[in-house]
Structure 1
Amino acid sequence: MKINTLLFDLDGTLINTNELIIESFLNTLNTYYPERYKREDVLPFIGPPLYETFTGIDATRVQEMIDAYRKYNHEQHDVLVTEFETVYETVQMLHEKGFKLGIVTTKLRDTVNMGLKLTKLDQFFDVVVTLDDVENAKPHPEPVLLALKQLGSSPEEAIMVGDNHHDIVSGKNAGTQTAGVAWTIKGQEYLAGYKPDYMLGKMSDLLKIVGVE
């Protein structure tokens, strides 16, 4: 079946929030545990919901740490967020060619809107599924299936694109094809281990996959 629907993760896939996320974690954790956490220690925290991450660190302070993280994250958002190569042009082209476009993210909607507005990508997406909209976050298939339902698409018509194994597994669980991005901060080999159908060297590689030249 011909691909007519593309679903994207946001952080680390469409927009470069890596430094923002790392600094938000380090700022928060160093407040509670001075000098215990270094940059490499927080890389595994990129991807899962904040609640899951902070519960694993200290179940008695979860909401407190989430609030501290989000406060810093919002304050520094427009300073630290940047764009990845060819993302804007690719998404614009897909939109112009009539593809159905959606975002599936583990972030809350207010932060998602900040990133999309900053990068001017908000004009291209028909559907945005955030953590606010689901009971089960990626890698559960619920967010992907909800986006497909809202777009009126079947899994066979879609590709889920992401930088984290949560994205690949969620897409596979939902029955879509999947594409990993080689610019994932966790390393291309890490993502390749989850066997996405495609690996994108840059976002514009997606155009050839879906037949747009």
Structure 2
Amino acid sequence: MKQIQVKKNILQSNDDLAEKNRVILEEKGVFTINLLGSPGAGKTSVLEQLIGNMKASTGMAVIEGDLYTTKDAERIEAQGIPVIQVNTGGACHLDAAMISEALHHLDLEKIRFLVIENVGNLVCPASYDLSEDMRITVLSITEGNDKPLKYPSMFQRSDVLIVNKMDLIQFTNFSMEELYRDIRSLNEDMKIFEVSCRTGEGFYDLCRFLKQSAMNKGGQKDA
């Protein structure tokens, strides 16, 4: 069977602007996460849990990416933290220009921890630098454990995997053993956290890891 591979470096302008954004964020001491995953993986629910566990001790803000609606941003706004909605108008990912515009509407002096919730997609967002310090991919139990091998770039380029909806695993044929094996074959350094937004399982360890990572990278301002 013949396979055709297409490789084009069409991302240089995005990378250049992302580097400028990164300088601004680093100067302000903002630790930035790019939160990725497919539609329905539970990215916004995970984000709500992170906010609930961290906002009291960490100044947080969110840039919320979506094709057209403000539904997820409204959920985040209800948590009482600053949120900027970015509607892509059909584009399947955020890019550095969108982030640059959003940063102009945030008071970075008051922000220690910025989460960018990307558009739900396991393909396009993997290629775009958003000036993040950390990439986190959310994979839900209900999606199946075959996604890492089907969409390898996303998992190869992420630092952390959050396996969400662990409370449903007993009702599926999801194999954690196969998932760990496949992840290690793609990205042996990837940190994996198993969580449930319904029960709160796993979020204490996840939040502790994120806070420590921010401190280690110098992204946290003094309280």
TM-score interval, normalised by the smaller of the two chains? 0.3 to 0.5
Larger strand percent: 2
TM-score under structure 1 length normalisation: 0.45
Larger helix percent: 1
